[in-house]
Structure 1
Amino acid sequence: MARVVLVTGVSSPLAARVAQTLSEEPGVRRVIGADSSPPPQDTRGIEYAHVDLHDGSLDRIVTDSGAELVLHLGLDTEGAPNREDNLLGTMRVLGAAQRSTSVRRLVVRSSATLDADDAAEVERHTRGLQRRRPDLSVALLRFANLIGPSADTPLTRYLDSRLVPTVLGNDPRVRFLHEDDGAEALVRMALSDGTGFFDVAGADPVPLSQCLRRVGGQRLPVPARGLKVLSGLAKHGRIGYASSSTTRAVHAGLHTAGMDSDSLERVLDWSPAYSSAEAFESYAHSRASSSPRHGLRPVHVLALARATLGR
């Protein structure tokens, strides 16, 4: 087991939980949590290191720490993550791992809910690192839609809206991954010697319509082109995703039915404890007593209709 572990993205509850769990493993001497924002206050057992994507701080942290195991679970980018910074963060981590003389294993969290171009870019750079450093043990985990009581993602904000725009005539089947299973998969992969690219998802996709009925969301079916105006509407209303990049993330997450965790299960001799339906139910139950919904107001519905119809 690596004596020194570096985990990026520790401002998120998931990464902080993974870092704390690894700090309790026998043989682990230090766990450094790197991000541009600190971890949650109740996180124990890790040393926080501030990262600025636009300087050489990540390289310095990797070099100075002597980290042998690196888990790249994201970077907060000062509370406002976006497509460009997410890709830049991944490239910074991969570059630091390539130049390091101490890093022996790298685990990267990717996502099947990324825009296809973004996911392909992350995987392309990761495969490039494998070619340049064949001595480095590398695993990449593609997560389904992470969900659970503490999940706060573009998709959960979409589901929390009072009126939920959906594509007319389309009811996608969605895969979910409970946050407990996500953390468990990352810890198990970090402690293993498994290499490759793996899907991580709860069994049995769930129809989007069933999810919306469970949380009380009212569907607003519109032609596909109508969804393109949501970013503009979000600037004037309280919608859970307000940019083209997060809009892409939402709709990528609705097309995850084809994910297959079999190869992960063979390598780790483990499978997610929650099915997709059970993971979603955990989230829905936690929202039962939450504050009133936000989202599209009548004026925005009218604007959406006009934009969709070209009037």
Structure 2
Amino acid sequence: MGKVVLVTGAARQLAGRFVRRVQREPDVARVIAVDSVRPERHLGGAEFVQADIRQPTIARVLAEHAVDTVVHLDVTGTPAPTFGVGSGPGSGRNPRGRATLKETNVIGTMQLLGACQKAPSVQRLVVKSSTNVYGSAPRDPAVFDESTPPKSLPSGGFAKDTVEVEGYVRGFARRRPDVAVCVLRFANILGPHADTPLAEYFSLPVLPTVLGYDPRLQFVHEEDVMEVLRIASSEPRRGTLNSGTFNIAGDGVLLLSQTARRLGKPTLPLLLPALGWVRSALRVVGMTDFSPEQVRLLTHGRVVRTTEMRQTLGFEPAYTTAETFADFARSRKPGLLPPERLAHSVDRLAEALLDQPADASGGDGHHRSHAT
């Protein structure tokens, strides 16, 4: 008969792409795409069901279609776009705000898990999460693995939502040990079609940064997101286990200063108190999750270990962090400064600074004294 796969958040571009992708799997018989609004893009041969996962009606959808695999992608930091518009600040995003977004992330997940618990047909659950669960703090370890506790739990925004979502998923896994549960903690998702808070940040003409900090960042390409979701929702191959919690990120890291140079965009270093005013201004123009947690990421950064992703889940990303960012940068309008010229200028400045003597008193023997 084949599997019946239900995908939440189908009106969003990432979930919509996965709906179209999973239909090509030979062991998938039907795909049920669910969202509270109708998608703008065609979903192929999937059956669309307009339903709000915050409502108990989602239980009826699972039962009526005898769903055996649930892929929960309606956990996000940005609201869904309105009809006929794209993404980005000022592009007509749904103005319902942060409160409704949190309801969908947290209350929607609770309702969906409650429905899955009562549905005997459900055998596999895949949940989109984020490395945001680790937070960003000054005394964080250099690299997080899946078992590393955060130094301080996120206090708000999408990061706090993901912590709550994972807590409910762990409770579900205890109540339904017969269901294979896979939680994918994605690093910052980027690519030509990225619709994430960090993509919005990088789309600004000038990038506000925290004075004195240059954080390490990791990215995962949206194409790799499609592939790892496919693996997680399929039957495990020999030697792999498609259940558990996994960090998902491309190899390597980039410094925030490197991302600015590669975009050709100037930065605006600010003291932390001033960033509070910037956050308020950006919310006015449509950036919904430039939250304190986002500011902490742009201050302290975050790097995760992906050993389990490779050894246990059996997934090898096609894109490194640098390649992911390069593909994203190519899809955006050129910055105010040509990246090549900016990088060359920065390199020349760094060389000049390195050539300067370390001791202004002439301790290296080459400094010319200006004392009179």
Scaled by the length of structure 1, the TM-score of the pair is 0.84
- Give the number of equivalent residue pairs: 287
> CA separation in 2, counterparts of 1:275 and 1:127?
30
Conserved? CA contact 1:160–1:217, under 8 Å: no
1:278 aligns with 2:278: no
The residue aligned with 2:56 is 56
* Structure number with larger C-alpha Rg: 2
> CA separation in 2, counterparts of 1:40 and 1:278?
29
Q: Which amino acid in 1 is paired with 2:265? A: G
The residue aligned with 2:210 is 167
> CA separation in 2, counterparts of 1:48 and 1:65?
12
SS of 1:230 mapped into structure 2: helix
Shift of 1:250: 3.4
The residue aligned with 1:72 is 72
> CA separation in 1, counterparts of 2:334 and 2:265?
15
Deviation per CA, 1:231-278, whole angstroms, max 9, x where unpaired?
A: 422355x3x514xx4424633654553212210111232211101010
Comparing 40-49 with 161-170, which one deviates more in the overlay?
A: 40-49
Conserved? CA contact 2:36–2:52, under 8 Å: yes
1:214 aligns with 2:262: yes
The residue aligned with 1:296 is none
Deviation per CA, 1:88-113, whole angstroms, max 9, x where unpaired?
A: 12212211111111101000011124
Comparing 121-130 with 266-275, which one deviates more in the overlay?
A: 266-275
Q: Which stretches in structure 2 are left out of the alignment for 5+ residues?
A: 83-93, 134-153, 237-241, 337-372
Q: Which amino acid in 1 is paired with 2:200? A: R
Percent identical residues: 38
Q: Which amino acid in 2 is paired with 1:275? A: T
Q: Report the aligned-residue RMSD.
A: 2.4
> CA separation in 1, counterparts of 2:335 and 2:303?
32
> CA separation in 2, counterparts of 1:94 and 1:221?
43
Change (3 A) 1:11 1:253: farther
Change (3 A) 1:70 1:103: same
Shift of 1:152: 2.1
Conserved? CA contact 1:154–1:241, under 8 Å: yes
> CA separation in 2, counterparts of 1:249 and 1:2?
42
Matches within 5 A, 1:25-104: 25-74=25-74, 79=94, 80=96, 82-104=101-123
Conserved? CA contact 1:13–1:40, under 8 Å: no
Comparing 220-229 with 29-38, which one deviates more in the overlay?
A: 220-229
Given the alignment, which residue of 262, 280, 287 partners 1:241? 287
Given the alignment, which residue of 101, 108, 131 partners 1:112? 131
Conserved? CA contact 1:241–1:247, under 8 Å: no
> CA separation in 1, counterparts of 2:290 and 2:123?
34
Conserved? CA contact 1:2–1:69, under 8 Å: no
1:202 aligns with 2:246: no
> CA separation in 1, counterparts of 2:276 and 2:131?
21
The residue aligned with 1:10 is 10
Change (3 A) 1:249 1:20: farther
SS of 1:33 mapped into structure 2: strand
Deviation per CA, 1:200-227, whole angstroms, max 9, x where unpaired?
A: 0011110011101111222111122322
Q: Which amino acid in 1 is paired with 2:257? A: S
> CA separation in 2, counterparts of 1:256 and 1:280?
16
Whose helix proportion is higher, 1 or 2?
1
> CA separation in 2, counterparts of 1:264 and 1:107?
14
1:261 aligns with 2:309: no
Shift of 1:12: 1.6
Conserved? CA contact 2:129–2:162, under 8 Å: yes
The residue aligned with 1:251 is 295
Q: Which amino acid in 2 is paired with 1:251? A: V
SS of 2:28 mapped into structure 1: coil
> CA separation in 2, counterparts of 1:227 and 1:281?
27
Deviation per CA, 1:97-141, whole angstroms, max 9, x where unpaired?
A: 111111010000111246543332111111111111111110000
> CA separation in 1, counterparts of 2:291 and 2:106?
17
> CA separation in 2, counterparts of 1:265 and 1:235?
38
> CA separation in 2, counterparts of 1:132 and 1:249?
31
Given the alignment, which residue of 167, 175, 178 partners 1:135? 178
> CA separation in 1, counterparts of 2:282 and 2:332?
22
The residue aligned with 1:185 is 228
SS of 2:312 mapped into structure 1: helix
Change (3 A) 1:235 1:173: closer
Change (3 A) 1:290 1:39: farther
The residue aligned with 2:195 is 152
> CA separation in 2, counterparts of 1:112 and 1:280?
17
Conserved? CA contact 2:105–2:165, under 8 Å: no
